[in-house]
Structure 1
Amino acid sequence: MAKLRPDRQGSHRVNFEKNKKIILKTQNTCGICGKPVDMSLKYPDPLAPCVDHIIPVAKGGHPSDIENLQLAHWTCNRQKSDKLFKNKEAMEPKVLGNRNLPWSMDWTSYEPD
């Protein structure tokens, strides 16, 4: 018999359900893709709201801590599965070009004649 996850049974279940209600009331954008979540949609709609574990329970994340939970689209959560992602703030900015050239002047304040 498969063992149930800690957030689906036992002492964590009550806290998970309480925090799930808080998240569904207070958040309105997907923590994975950043797009708005339509709260009127219900499962099995792929854009239905669900609660995602930021650090997956399978990777040692707390099953019911509100700091480890975020709102997500159902399909985004399914695609993420038990993967870990860096925080958006921790990610370095992407280089848009493959050359790093010096500026001859500050072009941000340039005004044509």
Structure 2
Amino acid sequence: MPYAIRRRRHDDGAAERVRLSEATREIQSKLSYFTAWTAAESSTVGEAYTALVRELRKVAGGAMREAWRATPITEDQAMNIPPTVIDLSSLLPLETAFTDAVRAHLAALAPWWAR
């Protein structure tokens, strides 16, 4: 969402606020759904996913606040947003931990003849 907010239409602020708020609400709903689903599937996978989502909300939330403060772009060259503006690098270790937890969970579910 920080990218979408920075790239919002500059000529229709009210409609963009509604559109982007609804998109954010939909994303939040899906994150909550998958948090519950992964926790029900496996506590280890659920904990890894919850940690990832927690950090994602912190990082993306801050980037979204900054994006709303920024002037909407009006030129094509402003479409490129450098990692110095939106830095998601802190998510990588948590993404790796989540992927590893899923991989281990699925390996444990594999039938003995497939191992």
TM-score (structure 2 length as normaliser): 0.26
Q: Which has the higher contact order (CA 8 A, sep 6+)?
A: 2
Q: Which of these two proteins has the greater Rg computed from alpha carbons?
A: 1
User: TM-score with structure 1 length normalisation?
Assistant: 0.26
Between Structure 1 and Structure 2, the one with more helix by share is 2
